[in-house]
Every structure is written in structure tokens, then in C-alpha cells.
Amino acid sequence: MRVTMIGSGYVGLVSGACFADFGHVVTCVDTDASKIDALNRGEIPIFEPGLDDLVAKNVREGRLSFTTELAGPVASADAVFIAVGTPTRRGDGHADLSYVYQAARDVVAKIDGFTVIVTKSTVPVGTGDEVERIMRETRPDADFAVVSNPEFLREGAAIGDFKRPDRIVIGTEDERARGVMEELYRPLYLNAAPLLFTQRRTSEVIKYAANAYLAMKITFINEMADLCEAVGANVQEVARGIGLDNRIGGKFLHAGPGFGGSCFPKDTLALMKTAQDLGSPLRIVETVVAVNDQRKRAMARKVIAACGGSVRGKRIAVLGLAFKPNTDDMREAPSLSIIAVLQDAGADVVAYDPESMEPAKALLSGVSFAADAYSCIEGADALVIVTEWDAFRALDLDRVKTGLRTPIVVDLRNIYRSDDMRRRGFEYSNVGNA
Ligand code: NAD
């Protein structure tokens, strides 16, 4: 099959490379010429484990190419995926759908013969109807079907998630489109990844419901962590104690500094707004958004408390900037809020992250960036662990202790054991007495 991806970011590039790896012929299109130039030079503009090899292999074997010109690839495509961004719209918290609608207009002008238009971007319920309306209005003679096929991959594990998904959700009631989608996903289907066909609107709701549920689970354990701190209980054991119950499950029960990233914050907010506008408010989601917003700043206050109530003039070492390990994505990363509060309180912040320092430099001012974890820690009055990169899990603690001016460690990801850290002479605090 011939596939065209509109948008070559985290989702478009990974999905495009994986579809090519299944044997389809894929063209990834992007309006950002610098991104396409880089890809054509063999450079991967994002950090995602395994993506460089997968892209190189499929380019070499002639199944994957990159361009800024959508006309040819769209005209020859069986399926065109819209995988452009849907960020939070400035001012009101709704999803900004302007990139999706623009892509729909651009695409419909160029399709030739029956083409399946697949919305892979995360879009509010009813967007598929609007995309279809725009396309029919722009070109009444065009032959197409608009399908919803939300993406559930996680950054940092994106290739494995795409190739071995828990399920594939496809929202369409068009028989011809169903046939194309089945053919596209046949390699996965044979591996028994369930293909769930639903109405288009249902498919759109599934994506937001999934993200809101996961965000709720994180927020739930984060509040439990606060309770554990107040009563002297251990949140990690609480998480294990409840997670072993199959009805609950142990995933997404790691207490920490609040969820960030390019999806949960914007998607919970957009779902909350959509539901309010439709007169069917989701009170749990509203609370999740509010609790998580406050949490990031509360984590900075935890650091200030660990430093004896003031960080003015103190040097604070921050390990980890990306919103989670194995990605360079800084969108809505907790580190951004935590560092801002520490700076407001007069701290001098030095930071290190294995992959996200370049994107972080554009977002953080007044921060010094260290070359590695130990030079970050050197001479600092306190160490704060914000992202649980593997490289931070087994630091040489003797070196950390001699490097720090005062042995204060605030571990916001619970990657060290408190009894061990205290035995080694650290003034150690974490999230929920883990
Ligand atoms: P991204 O910002 O990394 O990539 C989007 C790309 O689209 C950019 O490169 C941009 O230049 C390009 N673009 C914008 N308008 C275009 C147009 N008209 N034609 C061609 N290219 C255009 O975004 P992302 O993280 O890949 O997310 C894309 C969508 O997928 C969003 O709706 C997001 O919510 C959803 N999603 C993301 C993830 C994730 O982990 N990142 C997971 C699941 C779903």
C-alpha cells in the first residue's frame, strides 16, 4: 500500500517508519523544510531509541522518503495520515485544530481516486465530521473517506508500542475505508493486536478517555503520596499493595512531580473544555487538571523546605529535564515549573540531561548547563532528581557526597532507597516516604 504521512514529528515519523518496515511505501511530508532537509541528510530531528536505524534501513530499501511537497505523494496514496500537532490553543485551553484543518484543505486539493484520510492526531470528538465537511466543501467531486485512528504510542518506547500495540482503534463506518485500514494493519493484526472498529466519534472519545484515565491514575497516586508523607506511610508499598489487585493494575502508579509531556496536560485540558462546552462536565478530569497544575510548583517548595526554608543564593543541581526518560521532549516538563520557582526564590540552577539540553536551552533562561551528572552536582548546595534516566539510578554516591557542598538530595522519582541514603549520610527526601 502507498501511505503518505502529513506531519513528520514524533508520531508521523515513527508511524511512517514502522509502516515502511511492514513493507508499505511511505512518504513523510512536513512543512518544516529544515526537518525534511535533516531527514534527507540521514539525520533524525528527535531523539527516539531505535528510530535512526529503522529510518536508515527503510530509506536504504526504498520504502521511506521525505519531502515538503505533498502533491505527488498524496495523489498516489491509498491512505493519507494527518499526524500534525494539536497543541493547546492560546487563551482558552481547547485543542488548536488549525494545523489539522489546513492539512485537510491541502490534502483534498491533491487526492486522485478513492483515498482514505486518516486522522492520527489527537482531536476532540466531532473533528472527523468537520474535516469531512471542509474537504467536501473544498472539493465536492473528490472521492474519500475520513477515518479516525488515534495513536497510543509512548515517546521513549514508540517503535515497540507502534509495532506491538495493545489495540488499534479505527473509527469508520465506510466499508471501503475499513478494507484499506485492515490491509495497512494486517502485519500487526496477524500478531493478534486487536483491531477495534467503532464509529468515528467513539474512536475520538476513546483516545481522550484513555489519556484522561492514565493521567487520573498518576494524580491519584501523587495525592496518596502526600497523604503518606503526612501520616508516615510508604507510597511505593501502597502502590504495590493496590497494584497487585488485577482490577487496579500496577502501571502508572509511580508517585512523582506531576505528569508532563506533549499529551496528558493538553489532552486532559482539551477534554475538560469539550465536556464543559457540551454541557456534560467531567468533574474528575477537572480535578486532575487542577491538582497536577499545583503539584509541579509544590515540588519546588519541597526542595526549598529540604534546603532549610530558603534557596536564596544557593546552587541547586537539577538532574533530568525531559518530561520522562528516553526522550528529548521538553513540552510541559515538570522541570520547567520547578526550575522557575527555584529561580524566583533566588536559587542559582545548574542542570544536566542526557538528551534534552538543546531543546531545554530555548526554554530556560539563567540556567547553567553541565557536561555530565557529576559536574552538575559539583559544589551544589542540593541535588534534585527530576527525571529518572537510567544513568541517574546508579550514581557513584561517594562521588555525589563529596561533590555536594551540603549532602541534601531531593529525589522526585523515588529512584533511591531512603534507608540507604540516610545511612550514607545524605539528608534525603523523596515523594511519599518511598
Ligand atoms: P510534533 O509537533 O512532533 O509534529 C507535528 C509535525 O507536523 C511538525 O513537524 C510540523 O511541522 C508538522 N506540520 C504542521 N502542519 C503541517 C502541515 N499542514 N503539513 C505538513 N506538516 C505539518 O507533534 P507529535 O508529538 O508528533 O504529535 C502529533 C499528534 O499526535 C498530536 O495531535 C498529538 O497529540 C498526537 N499524539 C502524540 C503522541 C506523542 O507521544 N508525541 C502520542 C500519541 C498521539
Q: pLDDT at position 32, please?
A: 98
Q: pLDDT at position 325, please?
A: 96
Among candidate residues 18, 28, 228, 263, the one labeled active-site is 263
The span from the CA of 1 to the CA of 24, in Å, is 5
The span from the CA of 103 to the CA of 108, in Å, is 9
Q: pLDDT at position 191, please?
A: 66
Which residues, in sequence order, are bridge partners of residue 169? Answer: 196
Nearest CA to ligand 1 atom 3: 9
Stretch 191-213: mean pLDDT, rounded? 93
Q: pLDDT at position 326, please?
A: 94
Which residues, in sequence order, are bridge partners of residue 175? Answer: none
pLDDT tens, 9-61? 999 999 999 999 999 999 999 999 999 999 999 999 999 999 999 999 999 99
Please tell me if the CB atom of residue 16 comes closer than 6 angstroms to any atom of ligand 1: no
> Is 210 in contact with 167 (CB distance < 8 Å)?
no
Q: pLDDT at position 91, please?
A: 87
Same fold, 2-198 and 249-430: yes
Is the ipTM higher than 0.90? The answer is yes
Would you call 370 exposed, middle or buried from its count of C-beta atoms within 10 A (0-12, 13-18, 19+)? buried
Best residue among 15, 28, 29, 30 to mutate for probing ligand 1's pocket (most ligand atoms within 8 Å of CB) is 30
Nearest CA to ligand 1 atom 27: 85
The span from the CA of 74 to the CA of 97, in Å, is 21
Domain ranges in the chain are: 2-198, 249-430
Q: Which CATH number fits domain 249-430: 3.40.50.720, 3.40.50.300, 1.10.1740.10, 2.60.40.420?
A: 3.40.50.720
Kindly report the backbone phi and psi dihedral angles of residue 188, in degrees, each rounded to the nearest multiple of 5, phi listed first.
-80, -35
Alpha-carbon torsion angle 60, 66, 71, 74, nearest 10: 70
Please tell me if the CB atom of residue 127 comes closer than 6 angstroms to any atom of ligand 1: no
User: What does pLDDT average to over the chain?
Assistant: 97
Which homologous superfamily does the CATH classification assign to the domain defined by 2-198? NAD(P)-binding Rossmann-like Domain (3.40.50.720)
Q: pLDDT at position 384, please?
A: 98
Q: Categorize the per-residue pLDDT at 300 as very low, low, confident or very high, splitting at 50, 70 and 90.
A: very high
Q: pLDDT at position 434, please?
A: 82
pLDDT tens, 215-250? 999 999 999 999 999 999 999 999 999 999 999 999
Stretch 281-286: mean pLDDT, rounded? 98
The span from the CA of 225 to the CA of 233, in Å, is 9
Inter-residue long-range contacts of 199-202, CB under 8 Å, 24+ positions, other chains counted: 199/171, 199/173, 200/128, 200/129, 200/146, 200/147, 200/148, 200/171, 200/172, 200/173, 201/125, 201/126, 201/128, 201/129, 201/171, 202/171
CA of 12 relative to ligand 1 center, distance in Å: 7
Please tell me if the CB atom of residue 121 comes closer than 6 angstroms to any atom of ligand 1: yes
Find the helix or strand (DSSP H, E) in which 270 lies.
helix 264-277
The span from the CA of 78 to the CA of 148, in Å, is 15
Does residue 228 carry a catalytic annotation? no
CA nearest neighbour of 412 among 320, 345, 327: 320
Total Cβ atoms within 10 A of residue 412: 28
Q: Using the predicted structure, report yes or no on whether residue 190 has a pLDDT greater than 90.
A: no
CB contact set of 56 (below 8 Å; sequence gap of 6+): 42
Residue whose cell numbers read 482503534 = 169
Please tell me if the CB atom of residue 73 comes closer than 6 angstroms to any atom of ligand 1: no
pLDDT tens, 405-434? 999 999 999 999 999 999 999 999 999 998
The span from the CA of 81 to the CA of 85, in Å, is 13
